[in-house]
Copies of this chain bind each other. A is one copy, B any other.
Amino acid sequence: MNNNLFADRMSIAHKSFIREILKVTEDSNIISFAGGLPNPAFFPVKEIAEAAAKILETDGGNVLQYSSTEGYLPLRKYIAERYFLKNGLKIDPDQILITNGSQQGLDLIGKVFLNKGDRVIMESPGYLGAIQAFSMYEPIFESVSMLDDGIDIDMLEKTVRDKRIKLVYTVPTFQNPSGITYSTKKRKDVANILEKHDIILIEDNPYYELRFAGEDLPLIRNFLEDNSILLGSFSKTISPGLRLGWICTTNEIMEKIIIAKQASDLHSNYLAQRIAYQYLIDNDIDEHIVKIRDAYKIRRDLMVSMISEHFPEEIEFTKPEGGMFLWITLPEKISSLDLFEYAIKENVAFVPGNPFYVNGGGNNTLRLNFSNSDEEQIEIGIKRLANIITKYFP
């Protein structure tokens, strides 16, 4: 076959860097802080099995048939009600569409909005999955730095003033990769700026429920309605294997999202939607989430204290109030890619930070996942990393 047959977009697309790293870390001798996996010890396996048995027993013919593009209405109503309970938002269930995890939400947004050459603002560092999804639509990425309390507002304002921006992508709460959370003031500021310039905000919110310290903050959606696309997911609260996320947006945008979703795969897995809904109404999800939070808090606390104790003092790191990640900034002269090579040899892994910077940089940064390790692994792994740093970068 003639290689020129591939579309232009494929020439810039590469296999996920993280995916390649995860392959290296599959060796069970390696203590891996690289992945972004929730801890399977807290998947509600028994309850999911009960939910599956129940719906197949009582409504098997429908559960296994084709279904609607928007997704199972009672599940969408449940999500809408939870937005009201948790965030005071009044959402119509028809403003929610069920996706194959929130990754598909990103793809559908790219499809609906992006012409080649359109400009998209990414947080820097920012979520790799979003970079990958949008890349397929050949946009130009602009990056705006993350500060301790969220995106750099001055830089955001300057960028939207100087350049014609279509979308801004954010993970305002316990960001992947940095663990950073936007302050309430920054949430308002972002809303004001985007409303004024008529730019669409994508507020990706997979970790919101995983807060183990501090107070819940409002969503940016609380300050911005017309130009908002909110993404949610059951991957971190129930389980990723169900592949269920959702898009919540205005009627006007939803009309196009439905068309794109139908063209992409007709509808999301209906069996999984029915299982998730049955699980949610038969169990106390809040009680379940408390278990996950408590477990993740123990891990975060331990990782933070081990780093404080064993890493050289000049190394900076975030202390997230929730989520699954912690972000390390090494002294400028240390390359985290070099560190990675040494670390793998000593059986400990992380993700080097550079790929999270869509326009380059961050060579001295790295991401650590704390959700999917046990306490012993965290103790041993962080000590190993500290030893490597001291040994090779004295």
Q: Is the CB of B111 within 8 A of A9?
A: yes
CA distance A260 to B16 in the complex (A): 11
A226 within 8 A of B: yes
Contact with B along A57-70 (1 / 0, CB 8 A): 10011111111010
Q: Is the CB of B1 within 8 A of A250?
A: yes
Q: Is the CB of B100 within 8 A of A263?
A: no
A243 within 8 A of B: yes
How many copies of the polypeptide does the oligomer hold? 2
- Give the segment of A85-93, A127-135, A151-159, A337-345 that binds chain B: A127-135
Q: Is the CB of B16 within 8 A of A135?
A: no
Size of A's binding interface in residues, CB under 8 A: 84
Q: What residue in chain B is nearest A37 (Cβ atoms)?
A: B66
Nearest-Cβ distance from residue A193 to partner chain B, whole angstroms: 15
Nearest-Cβ distance from residue A214 to partner chain B, whole angstroms: 28
Nearest-Cβ distance from residue A124 to partner chain B, whole angstroms: 20
Q: Is the CB of B43 within 8 A of A112?
A: no
Partner pick for A112 among B6, B64, B104, B118, CB 8 A cutoff: B6
Partner pick for A56 among B49, B69, B133, B137, CB 8 A cutoff: B49
Nearest-Cβ distance from residue A141 to partner chain B, whole angstroms: 14
Nearest-Cβ distance from residue A15 to partner chain B, whole angstroms: 6
Q: Is the CB of A112 within 8 A of B10?
A: yes
Q: Which of A1-44 contact B (CB under 8 A)?
A: 1-3, 5-10, 13-16, 19, 37-38, 40-41, 43
**Contacting residues, chain B, for A16 (C-beta < 8 A):** 262
A204 within 8 A of B: no
Q: Is the CB of A242 within 8 A of B64?
A: yes
Q: Is the CB of A1 within 8 A of B200?
A: yes
Q: What residue in chain B is nearest A35 (Cβ atoms)?
A: B66
**Contacting residues, chain B, for A53 (C-beta < 8 A):** 49, 52-53
Q: Is the CB of B48 within 8 A of A61?
A: no
CA distance A92 to B239 in the complex (A): 31
A285 within 8 A of B: no
CA distance A8 to B114 in the complex (A): 8
Given A45-B60, A48-B56, A200-B5, check contact A266 B101 (CB 8 Å).
Answer: yes
Nearest-Cβ distance from residue A192 to partner chain B, whole angstroms: 16
A223 within 8 A of B: no
**Contacting residues, chain B, for A239 (C-beta < 8 A):** 64-65
Q: Is the CB of B5 within 8 A of A166?
A: yes
A113 within 8 A of B: yes
Q: Which of A232-261 contact B (CB under 8 A)?
A: 235, 239-243, 250, 252-253, 256, 258-260
9 pairs of residues in contact across A and B, judged by CB atoms under 8 Å: A3-B252, A7-B111, A8-B115, A13-B256, A133-B263, A136-B264, A243-B266, A243-B271, A271-B272
